[in-house]
Structure 1
């Protein structure tokens, strides 16, 4: 593998430095570096970050390859600056056995655009009745450490307690989709003024908050780790903040779309805005941004949820829930967090690389940009402004809420263990 010299990039948004990649590792970081025969990338004005890590991606394979595959999903990830993604278990068949998680893991390795770490289901078939083979999935070649029934809530408190007890033995974590099912029957959007005006079934904030409150108490009782998926309300923020103040081992994520979009967009009845959990109010959005800035919310995770055209281009009530997000996530975070002064680029690296890697035990990722570390890197041009065109996506699906919207920033290069997966904004 040839040497690559990245010249003049602002490492974590700080001083401009040169970074020399030799093989799979960073050989040197400094100023005025040179290397005979190295490929030189002039990166003046660009930001160099550790490769992004997404703790919440839906790759759909096996079973829904019409929406996404491991290949197309990881190509989308590389386009967005990601070097590792955690693939959710709601595939067909469900990733509730060692065999299925190993299949997904090996597909990721074969395609090589980013590392794929499967997430194992908490319960068999995501049915919430019987624990899946947690130990077997952890002991498999995939080495699963994160377990989730995402798309469905583990609403049975006894099952949730048993899962927390089981994963504690090997330092795993249960990632909860917090949605009390009986409070959200027939729900179509956030419960509030807009849902009342539109006559759509409301999704109350308490349906999320009540599950989070229960689960942080269970985690405290068991002494185990719990992670809250796609936290979306101001009340949820306060519960997580309280739990952390008690020393409970809880982490939480927020999606880019919950940092930017509100339920007012549902007035268009455009199903592209239909998502689980639903878009909330402006008050919730502001609370989420502040919580991400102060560390109450630990990470940004995309909840990349691809759907084929026919599942979204239909009437609102029949449309599937979800949005694609891998290729726009960093731009949305730049707009909502960096350009508002809530985070600097080092903070972005922390929330989008360092901490998600730590939560998921992805030890090769989220590492410092320094000599001897794996060369998993993302180079972004923060001055770029562009209009989102889904036709340019590497993802197989096009269900983005940002079509036609101008967003800042552009990932120019992504490196996975020293090999460029994205070069000048184009997949290698």
Structure 2
């Protein structure tokens, strides 16, 4: 198949190229960026990208696909379809399914299933401990050999420091990163929202910044000791930015992600009793949000990831105390990034491509995240000026749990291309 993307603003963080040009794709690879009169343009599928960003396909390091075990929330197929609609060409599935992805066979199950049903690339993250119980290391080397691109205990922290140190040593040996959910379970208690005015007002227990910051500091020190690659998931506090900045100055191999909900909302935005605002880490203060935005702007924080966490409607219909943590994010990430960061001057379009594609690819060792000639044609086309209202009825995800329903955003994904094949195209 030959595909021509015409007249788009090609933004390639791999070559630092940012200019209006055509992009020619053949047999799943990018073959030309600038066409000449001698080029044979017959038998082409053509997409007119006038006025649009053309970027390397986005890579989400932090997604919950729920399969196996929680297919009432999401499946590999539905989550991957949501990814395609959101401009993501590669997604990394977290291991907290049922059963937990803690050995090579389970890794292979997800990868094989994804190869059959997913329109995008699906990578699997393996658990750090067996059944995520924090007692015995999972088969980290076996999972890495089976294709796991990282290990994580996402949803909780490994509180046993000695065990965690051994895990980091094995991750270093396997040349894969450790993705850390930073939460001290001894401090979090029965927390529901950020420890602040909103939690007091709603009479629920709060989750302090210390819950996150103390584990970030601990994990950075273990990474320093083991020389492992540490990736900090869903950072939400102002001090997380400071800690990452200081670690990088010391040459420690640490990277960090920020989720769109953590840079787009504060605890002040929470509507009384609406469990779609309940997530972990919780929505923080304006001061925290400002620090996260500046951390992204100043390239301290490396990645934008969604922490896409679908839940069934009946679960989120429970009380604020009883409902599960988590919101969906694959289909709103682009709009939130453009609306809250690009349009407001925090990120350039090039930085957006870096944080959603180029940097994630480097962290997990994928030869993606660029539009250089000869590379696999994973591409996203975005109209940055198109406005739309978030409507959960349009979501491909089975999860509709989002606080952004009804919000007006800018930045419509017009097409998502995986391996040279159009897997999503906007049709309204």
TM over 0.5: yes
Partner of 1:38: 44
Residues 124 and 132 in structure 1, CA contact (< 8 A), matched pair in contact too: yes
User: Aligned-pair distance for 1:309?
Assistant: 0.5
Partner of 2:346: 342
Residues 289 and 336 in structure 1, CA contact (< 8 A), matched pair in contact too: no
Partner of 2:10: 11
| 1:323 alignment partner, SS class | coil
1:88-167 to 2 correspondence within 5 Å? Answer: 88-140=94-146, 143-167=147-171
Alpha-carbon separation, structure 1, partners of 2:271 and 2:222: 38
Partner of 2:15: none
1:221-240 to 2 correspondence within 5 Å? Answer: 221-240=225-244
Partner of 2:70: 64
Alpha-carbon separation, structure 2, partners of 1:419 and 1:109: 15
Gapped regions of structure 2 (runs ≥ 5): 13-17
| 1:168 alignment partner, SS class | helix
**4+ runs deviating over 6 angstroms:** none
1:16-415 to 2 correspondence within 5 Å? Answer: 16-30=20-34, 35-140=41-146, 143-363=147-367, 365-367=368-370, 369-415=371-417
Q: In the TM superposition, what whole-angstrom CA distance separates every residue of 1:68-91 from its partner, at most 9, and x where no partner exists?
A: 000000000000011100000000
Residues 202 and 272 in structure 2, CA contact (< 8 A), matched pair in contact too: no
Alpha-carbon separation, structure 2, partners of 1:248 and 1:359: 14
Q: In the TM superposition, what whole-angstrom CA distance separates every residue of 1:199-219 from its partner, at most 9, and x where no partner exists?
A: 210101011000010110111
Alpha-carbon separation, structure 2, partners of 1:10 and 1:156: 49
Residues 145 and 171 in structure 1, CA contact (< 8 A), matched pair in contact too: no
Alpha-carbon separation, structure 1, partners of 2:311 and 2:427: 24
| 2:67 alignment partner, SS class | coil
Residues 103 and 138 in structure 2, CA contact (< 8 A), matched pair in contact too: yes
**What is the RMSD of the two structures over their aligned residues, measured on CA atoms?**
1.3
User: Aligned-pair distance for 1:152?
Assistant: 1.1
Residues 83 and 416 in structure 1, CA contact (< 8 A), matched pair in contact too: yes
User: Aligned-pair distance for 1:50?
Assistant: 0.0
User: Aligned-pair distance for 1:267?
Assistant: 4.4
Alpha-carbon separation, structure 2, partners of 1:311 and 1:362: 36
Q: In the TM superposition, what whole-angstrom CA distance separates every residue of 1:130-172 from its partner, at most 9, and x where no partner exists?
A: 11000010111xx113101101111221111111111111211
User: Aligned-pair distance for 1:16?
Assistant: 1.2
Residues 25 and 374 in structure 1, CA contact (< 8 A), matched pair in contact too: yes
Alpha-carbon separation, structure 1, partners of 2:239 and 2:48: 46
Q: In the TM superposition, what whole-angstrom CA distance separates every residue of 1:20-71 from its partner, at most 9, and x where no partner exists?
A: 1111101211156761111111111010000000000000000000000000
| 2:329 alignment partner, SS class | coil
Residues 275 and 316 in structure 2, CA contact (< 8 A), matched pair in contact too: yes
| 1:104 alignment partner, SS class | helix
Gapped regions of structure 1 (runs ≥ 5): none
Alignment TM-score, normalising by the size of structure 2: 0.96
Alpha-carbon separation, structure 1, partners of 2:175 and 2:149: 7
Residues 262 and 285 in structure 1, CA contact (< 8 A), matched pair in contact too: yes
User: Aligned-pair distance for 1:372?
Assistant: 1.4
Alpha-carbon separation, structure 1, partners of 2:427 and 2:334: 14
